[in-house]
Chains A and B, each alone.
Chain A
């Protein structure tokens, strides 16, 4: 592989604003060249701070950031050559679309002809050709967004940072922009560091996702791994939907463990439990639990239906199962007629492999 696996490197980075609280704690993160990496986390988790340190608007309190093996802490933002898309686009309101895009090229003293060519190319990339003379205020939110993306890319930066760029758009537009940005990334192969608190956005777009909480990266892995195999209960809780059981490990053998709950016992996949007697939270994705399973599953329990909510393509069923009255099931609305009625007792089964025994909450 010729690509640099440590194109951007956070090396033991700490950040504190007030000298009392660490916003980012001992961050170590390597980003490969051409990768689309997303920093995902709740607000206040330190993800935007990381982005700002990479862009140069904040300095690390401790540690160093490397860009292509060069430490960049002492390089001012305008010399870093990093493109950035801001939360509210930050288009220059007094300049036309053309002038906005030409700005990074003009300050680089590129000739007028080349500027025209590059602006043309960038605008056609975001399918906004012909909008050169519009003012930003004359564009819709989605168009402004595309101009912002085009402007961040027009000077061919090695890295592009995006700080919740789709936050202000409505749902449909957001989804189509997600694909658009993903396609742009695929076609030009630029390294993208993307910050969002929207997990579906992160799952759709990224090569890898770094889940932030409390100033730390909780898990860094590909979207499917993050969803299927969360390494701790924060990630399991934060990404997607999740049914949990709190309990105590009473047996640990053959790659599976037995967890004693307040009502009953279940078999689970030991991820972060080490020995008998550990407290644990067992996490099961709703779609991994089936009603009246045809194949044999090693967990089988009866529950009472407490709520049925129709969602069009599927029905959400809330059950009281093993003392947990918040157990959620997603039942696809297929022709298969199941006896889903309020108050009915039904049989639920899942594989112990899909029930991950994680750290206790």
Chain B
């Protein structure tokens, strides 16, 4: 309450703002209760899984939890020369517990990922521990170093130390074909093994061209839809929406029937003599198949926003343009086209974002050269079971989409988007 501005009171003497809040409270609570189910649903199905994915992608607690004493002792070690006795002692007591719990195999697996060669030396150490060959009265450092020559190699101890932090960004580096070198520097994977970068680029490329193709094909359709008389436009609308109502799998499968080498399209080409029977072009299991099928499937997402924007453009604007002396092309380019930009923006953004994360269609018709990053994610989810890597790539994809959205916002402005 400032002394300058006079507070307005209701006739009962209650401050107006208080009275207003009271009057509105009931409505606000009602409104909130109405959205609560959706809010909960979003939290449970969206926010939580993404949070979980993020935790999973950076989680590296396994070794941290397995070797607590080792890592406490390692805090004082400079990491350059062989670690002191305390580190060995800590490692030995941690390892004994692992052996009792039969968890040393997991440790071997995880450390082997960090540096090749851990598998065999941990097995060797395990046998020694099992047979109680290690005398706790003497220097444990000496005894472990005798088990295998690699235990005398400082690089292996450095590798163990690198697994100490409970969190790691290694998965994200891996997603970009990079890794942490022995001294903790970020290194590039050798050129012939850089598969992820190719996939990222290919995903962007395919998403871009699919967006372009659906724009080129969707624009005239949307225009027709918006300008045809009702009875024809309804029919055309059904033709556009029909694929929408058909299962994605069915649509993709029908493209497989059409596009395969002995398929209908190839048969037709042979029939009209466009290609020789023994030289049928491959239109599937490569980029062509992905382009064709994805463009068809994503076309409605381009057509609908365009249509809804075009529907609001009064035909008298084009007429005005023409009556003022503009040729039909100028009237289109200077008047109609600029007014459809919000729809173009919405359609392109929608198609691009959907295309960037597309999965089933490229998996079925893409073959080796037509698969996208999402197929790689699925591969790690289902085949290698490296969920943390799959999570990391999923989040990178999400970040990519947000970046696209941000750039788009800078260029076109999200306020200019019109979905309907």
Listed in ascending order, the chain A residues whose CB lies under 8 Å from chain B are 55-57, 76-84, 86-88, 90-94, 103-104, 107-108, 151-152, 155, 161
Contact = CB atoms under 8 A, between A and B. Distances in A.
Contact of B323 (A83, A91, A93): A83
Given A87-B316, A90-B314, A78 B339 contact: no
A152 B319 CA distance: 12
B326 A107 contact: yes
A103 B326 contact: yes
Contact of A92 (B322, B327, B335): B335
A90 B319 contact: yes
Contacts of A83: 323-324
A77 B320 contact: no
A86 B324 contact: no
B184 interface: no
A77 B326 CA distance: 9
Interface of B: 314, 316-317, 319-328, 330-331, 334-335, 338-339
B373 to A, nearest CB: 38
Contact of A88 (B316, B321, B325, B326): B316
A103 B328 CA distance: 14
Given A84-B323, A86-B316, A151-B324, 19 more contacts: A55-B319, A56-B322, A57-B322, A78-B323, A78-B326, A78-B328, A84-B319, A84-B320, A84-B324, A88-B314, A90-B316, A91-B320, A92-B320, A103-B321, A103-B326, A104-B324, A104-B325, A108-B325, A155-B324
Given A78-B328, A88-B314, A90-B317, A103 B323 contact: no
Nearest to B339: A94
5 contacts: A76-B322, A78-B324, A78-B327, A82-B323, A90-B320
Q: Kindly name the residue among A57, A77, A93 whose own CB sees the greatest number of chain B CB atoms within 10 A.
A: A77
B320 A86 contact: yes
Contacts of B322: 56-57, 76-78
A155 B325 contact: yes
Nearest to A77: B322
A48 to B, nearest CB: 12
Q: Kindly name the residue among A79, A91, A107 whose own CB sees the greatest number of chain B CB atoms within 10 A.
A: A107
Contact of A78 (B314, B316, B325, B335): B325
B325 A81 contact: yes
A132 B326 CA distance: 21
Nearest to B318: A90
Contacts of B316: 86-88, 90
Closest 6 CB pairs of A and B: A104-B324, A90-B320, A90-B316, A84-B323, A77-B322, A86-B316
B317 A92 contact: yes
A76 B334 CA distance: 18
B150 to A, nearest CB: 71
B323 A77 contact: yes
Contacts of A94: 338-339
A94 B331 CA distance: 13
Contacts of B326: 78, 103-104, 107
A161 B323 CA distance: 10
Contacts of A152: 324
Contacts of A84: 319-320, 323-324
A113 B327 CA distance: 23
A161 B327 CA distance: 19
B317 to A, nearest CB: 5
A88 B338 CA distance: 20
A57 B314 contact: no
Contacts of B320: 84, 86, 90-92
Given A90-B317, A92-B317, A107 B324 contact: yes
Nearest to A84: B323
Contacts of A79: 325
A294 B344 CA distance: 76
Nearest to A94: B338
Contacts of B314: 88, 90
A199 B331 CA distance: 34
A121 to B, nearest CB: 17
Q: Kindly name the residue among A55, A94, A151, A161 whose own CB sees the greatest number of chain B CB atoms within 10 A.
A: A94
B393 to A, nearest CB: 41
B176 to A, nearest CB: 42
Contacts of A82: 323
Nearest to A163: B316
Contacts of B328: 76, 78
A103 B327 contact: no
Given A83-B324, A88-B314, A93 B339 contact: yes
Contacts of B321: 92, 103
B418 to A, nearest CB: 13
Nearest to A99: B334
A355 B334 CA distance: 58
A57 B319 contact: yes
A268 to B, nearest CB: 46
Contacts of A86: 316, 319-320
A10 to B, nearest CB: 18
A155 B321 CA distance: 13
B191 to A, nearest CB: 49
Contacts of B339: 93-94
A86 B324 CA distance: 12
Nearest to B317: A90
Contacts of B323: 55-56, 77-78, 80, 82-84, 161
Q: Kindly name the residue among A79, A104, A151 whose own CB sees the greatest number of chain B CB atoms within 10 A.
A: A104
B324 A103 contact: yes
Contacts of B331: 78
A146 to B, nearest CB: 15
A178 to B, nearest CB: 22
